[in-house]
Amino acid sequence: MTKKLIALDTDGTLLDPNGKILESSKKVIKKALDHGIKVVLCSGRPIDGLKDYLAELGITGSAQYVITLNGAIIRNTDDDIISENLVPNSFYRRMTAFGMANKIPFNIVDADSRIITADHNVDPLIYIQAFENNAPLYIRNPDQLPEDNIRIAKGCFVGKPELLDQWEKQIRKEFGKELYVVRADPHFLELLNSEVNKGYALKQLCQRLNIMPENVIAIGDEKNDISMFDFAGTAICMKNGNPEAKEAANYVTAANNDDGIAKALKKFVFND
């Protein structure tokens, strides 16, 4: 079946362990674009954390697309918003209170890529989060953020894997009936609009482009990629991926430092 769209996760998939795109990935993605195949980055990152990679790959213009913030916002690569599903502003107060009471580092990411936390003792992982996404970091408690002046894309509980392992069940119990709670990677537990996930955003985009699931290939490595695996006709997990993601995929390719994307696309798109 001809592939018309390739959905690519970024961290752990497109990016190698040093945060770089392999030359083999650049070459095969250029080949896909030259053949008229859409290549869509589907990431937990905000748009400012993806712009440099989009430019590096040559994914540009109003006819190319990017899914950001785990599906909360779909844009074309001219930065026009196609759709967005945000978190009600009242949750900033609730999530902040939960994080402060239980000593779990917490922040929100707004629709403009800003990272906001109420904790003056900023956890180092939040600094890294801001740096990796070219995002400004603000320290603001809920009373300093009037509800009509903020557009929340997602909330992030951040910490060492053992801390999030300890609290994940309770966070799901506290917020899971109202929000989509997903472990984006060992260090991030994220809360989004209840209608949001990568798979739903990919479905929305494909409906807009009149592309059927069987014409879609999705490549990822983590639990937050499983929803797009469920939608795509061909679902591929990286060898370095989470065991649950591997189980949900149709195929496991090589690792993100071993030409995994190039090997997968050569096999399933170009039949090399």
Q: Are 86 and 69 in contact (CB under 8 A)?
A: no
Strand pairing category for 106-110 and 81-84: unpaired
The residue assigned the tokens 């309770």 is 170
Q: Which two tokens stand for residue 267?
A: 């096999």
H helix runs in 5-76, sequence order: 23-34, 51-57
Alpha-carbon distance of 68 to 201, in angstroms, equals 9
Sign of CA dihedral 82, 55, 221, 115: negative
CB 264 within 8 A of CB 229: no
Task: Enumerate the active-site residues.
Answer: 9
